Amino acid sequence: MESRIAKTIYIFILALTLSFVNAVSYAQTYYITEDEKGNQTLFQTFSWEKDDSVFKYEFIMEHLVKGKYVEIEHKELKENSIDLSLVNGTYRYKLLVYNYLGFLEVETDWIPVEIVKAYQPKIFDVGPGTIFLEEEQDGIYTVSGSELSSETEFSLIKGSKNQDGKLKAEILEYDDKHKNRVKIKFDPEKIDVGRWTLVAKNVGGLKGFKDDVWVKWKKAVDFNVSAGWAPLFFVASPDIKKYFNTDMMLLSPEVKMSFFPIKKRFGYFGIGVSGCFSGMEYKPEGYDLSTLFFTGNVDFIYQKYIVPKKICFDVHAGAGIVGFTAMQFKFPHDIKSENFTSLNIAAHAGVSLDYYFLKRLYGEIGCDFTYAFIKDMQLMFVQPQISVGWQF
């Protein structure tokens, strides 16, 4: 038995072939003792389901040596477990169960046990330590350490190190002779932003960890500003047609700003503000009617790049205001009505598509729909949009 086994334990691989009614349930456990000189000894615990009607158990274990099984343990037990210190190798054991009359009641089949060495993996370095999602990613990492082999399971986790990693890696290259270097690959589409821990897990459940594997954006937030043209086309709004003899306003400049503080691989989440205005005028015989029509909106935005660094789609929805200001009738002889101003709540939604000509410069096309809540008046309009913007 090795004297120091801080980096190595023995684990069990069993095939249970039990035949008695109260089936044996094997508990795979172990513990380590240490003497006064610091020498460590590992004990494996074999246990099975307890039955109060059993008077005693007889435990027999054999070790496969040079092709033959040799008995190494034969004990009578009152308890339903036994602790043994075994080296790696092939074993088998059986249980004989006696009732309170002293008669043999059940004898199990031989239960095979494979005891192999399990080595403690260690991770010294991971490259790259940080990847940026704006860049093209292949999900490949080079890992250096000790006891890293083709049988090591690699995963990325967030949070508690006691959990099993759900994001598993494929091993591309390995060195089973030196066991100090492997190349692994994760699905790059599944690696999202955040601080990850790389886990190396060997046979037997021994784990090595490397913290601070980062996935980041080069720009933590995006801020966009654009300006353009957004003509209004009124839909099912007879009052506009009645008073202004038109259902469209073609001269409507628009300004938009958007801020994206939450950026994930599956999309960006942000908030935006927009506003536009347009002068309206109608001059029938006998009077003139004029006003300034304006809108302002605050939207929640979801944005997704459908072509990396090039084409971006977004959908947005929110609320805003719609208003008429300085509305006035003018009659001959310089007779004027009082100025009228109306300010109303509105619901707003739309989609847009951005195309990046350069790294920061983009063009945008889209269409919005707005419904204004105005008493005694129906006001709905759509706004196709075309604009040019800059991302800060």
Q: What is the pLDDT of residue 160?
A: 72
Q: Are residues 37 and 102 in the same domain?
A: yes
Domain for residue 350, yes or no?
A: yes
Q: Is residue 235 located within the same domain as residue 267?
A: yes
pLDDT at 21 over 90: no
- Is the pLDDT at 6 greater than 70? The verdict is no
Asked if residue 310 is part of any domain, the answer here is yes
Q: Are 194 and 247 in the same domain? A: no
* 384 within some domain: yes
Q: How far apart are CA 269 and CA 300, in angstroms?
A: 8
In CATH, what number is assigned to the domain containing residue 28?
A: 2.60.40.10
User: What's the pLDDT at 389?
Assistant: 96
pTM higher than the cut 0.75: no
Q: Which of helix, strand or coil describes residue 243?
A: helix
The mean pLDDT value of the chain amounts to: 85
**Taken in order 113, 114, 115, 118, is the CA torsion positive or negative?**
negative
* Judgement on whether residues 203 and 82 belong to the same structural domain of the protein: no
In this predicted structure, what is the pLDDT of residue 5?
44
What's the pLDDT score for residue 370? Answer: 95
Residue 40: predicted pLDDT: 63
- Are residue 70 and residue 189 in the same domain, yes or no? no
Q: Could you give the CA distance from residue 348 to residue 304 in angstroms, rounded to a whole number?
A: 20
Segment 99-142, tens digit of pLDDT: 988 899 899 999 998 887 778 899 999 999 898 887 777 889 99
Q: Which residues contact 307 (CB under 8 A, 6 or more apart)?
A: none
101 Cβ contact list (under 8 Å, min separation 6):
55
The answer to whether residues 182 and 318 belong to one domain is no
Residue 67, amino acid? G
**Closest by alpha carbon to 274, among 299, 246, 301, 309?**
299
Domain identity same for 170 and 255: no
Residue 2 lies in a domain: no
Q: What's the domain range around 306?
A: 222-391
The answer on 162 and 237 residing in a single domain is: no
Helix (H, G, I), strand (E, B) or coil at 371: strand
Same domain, 107 and 126: no
pLDDT band at residue 31 under the 50/70/90 scheme: low
CA–CA separation, 281 and 290 (whole Å): 4
